[in-house]
Structure 1
Amino acid sequence: MREAIEEKQITEGLLSPISKQEARMKNPLVLAYIGDTVYDLFVRTSRVKASGEHVNLLNRWVCGVVNARAQAEAADKLLPMLLEDEADIYRRGRNAKSATTPKNMDIGDYHKATGLEAVVGYLFLVGEYGRLHEIFEAILPESEA
């Protein structure tokens, strides 16, 4: 009984998907905002499942994967496999004008990372969890996916 209630709360509640049209109407920086969190969650979850490391070692590894340079490399790897709507979201995110500029990182990497995060945010909001899984399998180190 409890499982059914929890599943219903997820599918009809706060985390329920929105339409693709509604998601496309969101500012790409808003998509990247939620995508950043989802990206971090996927990476952390995959590492926790794959290892028995202590928290500080887990965090050190995650910081090496969840940063603009690593995300830009992931975006380059991912670009050929993006579907048309995902590629459009990526371009919008990459080309979005942010009010802040990153410190200690390449601006090109930052823009690519923002594009990738926008795609992740879009897929999460529309409930394309299977597609998110495919993307993370493609970009995470093989031992982590």
Structure 2
Amino acid sequence: MDFSRENRAVAAAVIAMVIFNGGFLLLNGLFMLIDPLAWYELVPGVTDTGFFNQHFIRDIGMIQLFLGVAFGLGFVNPERRIGLWAAATVWLSAHALFHFWEVAVGICAPSVIPRDFPAVTMPALFGILLTLWAIRRSRAQKLALA
């Protein structure tokens, strides 16, 4: 990835967010696929959402794995970056909004918001920031070539 004309702080933030989203989502997805029962028992708050269902956990694990791969591929493929990151971010944002909706309608207590933030809301926010950065960067590069 060429950051030659990028502010160093911005470049560091982009790299950190990609590493977080790509690494966390990929590893979490693998964990869900390899040992869904351990994932169910170890991740805070998951047991509060209902009974153990290995099929459902593995389904979501595949999604998480693919989202992590999308962030990694987008990092190394600038021409595909916007599409990969935007698609992943749509799912992450919908997932985060669903968690807020559960609080809004009384399914969950407001105390779940800070508990879920690192694994649910933060990846969505990082995805939004990364996608907006990629769009801005793509436009700037097109203008520079014009």
TM-score range (shorter-chain normalised) is 0.3 to 0.5
Structure showing greater radius of gyration is: 2
| TM-score (normalised: structure 2) | 0.33
| TM-score (normalised: structure 1) | 0.33
Higher relative contact order (CA 8 A, sep 6+): 1
